[in-house]
Amino acid sequence: MTSYISTQSISSAMCQSILRMQTELAACEAEVSTGNYADIGQTLGAQTGENVSLQAQNSLLQTITDTNQTVATRLSPTETILGNLRTNARIFSTLLENNGSTSNASAIQATGQSDLQDLISSLNSSLNGDYIFGGTNTGEQPITDYYATSAPNKSAVNNAFLTAFGMSQTNAGVSTISGVNMQNFLDNQFALLFQSTVFQQLAQAYTMVADLGTQNLSSSAYQAVAVPHRVF
């Protein structure tokens, strides 16, 4: 018996074969690039649900890993900064202990100014555009530069001092301020400008020595400002 196969049938079969091969090739390329089956449902059947669950867990673990890496990246400079601030504070405290009189008041005041600037700069450190000590608002500089033009924190100190003593910190008349009056100012008007957190207490200590006319104060007023146990 003789059978006949038309050219159209052969052509149709070849087209279907080519299409099937193209589909399989696309699936293989997808699997190679993603590491996953192209059609999970077709390949795994009843195990598809378990696979989806495992993929979700893997995604969660990757997110946790990335988050931990980000935290680790931020912790390293944070520890360095805190260590430097701690060292500076100890050195400054020792300096005050060794200079209990007004003979080195100018040097003490200059050191206080330098340490205050360093504190501000350190707390305004950033990493990849985010401020390390910015808390939940990492896009905003956490500390206003005390020595910037019209800085509100310095203006507040200036106004408090002027209100208390009727003169600015740079006025030579600060030498007439008594220790009792200076102590009262530090315990009240000045203290109200600073909240009781570690960094603000440190800023308060440096500001006290750096910007209350230290170099021109009387001996008793100087003692009120620069006694180590009071500053730290």
Q: pLDDT tens-digit profile of 79-119?
A: 999 999 999 999 998 888 887 677 788 889 999 999 999 99
Give the end-to-end CA distance of the chain in Å, rounded to a whole number: 111
Q: Identify the pLDDT of residue 161.
A: 96
DSSP 8-state class, residue 188:
I
Backbone dihedral angles phi then psi of residue 43, each to the nearest 5 degrees: -80, -45
Does the residue 26 lie in any domain?
A: no
Residue pair 146/154 in contact by the 8 Å Cβ criterion: yes
Q: pTM (2 decimals)?
A: 0.66
Contacts by 102-108 with C-beta closer than 8 Å and gap 24+? 102/217, 102/218, 102/219, 102/222, 105/214, 105/215, 105/216, 105/217, 105/222, 105/226, 106/215, 108/209, 108/214, 108/215, 108/226
Does the residue 127 lie in any domain?
A: yes
Does the residue 28 lie in any domain?
A: no
Task: Please give the Cα distance from 179 to 61 (Å, whole number).
Answer: 62
Our count of domains for the chain comes to 1
Does the residue 21 lie in any domain?
A: no
Does the residue 179 lie in any domain?
A: yes
Q: Identify the pLDDT of residue 116.
A: 93
How many residues are given for the chain? 232
Containing structural domain, residue 212: 71-231
Does the residue 75 lie in any domain?
A: yes
- Give the pLDDT band (50/70/90) at residue 65: confident
Residue pair 85/122 in contact by the 8 Å Cβ criterion: yes
Does the residue 139 lie in any domain?
A: yes
Does the residue 37 lie in any domain?
A: no
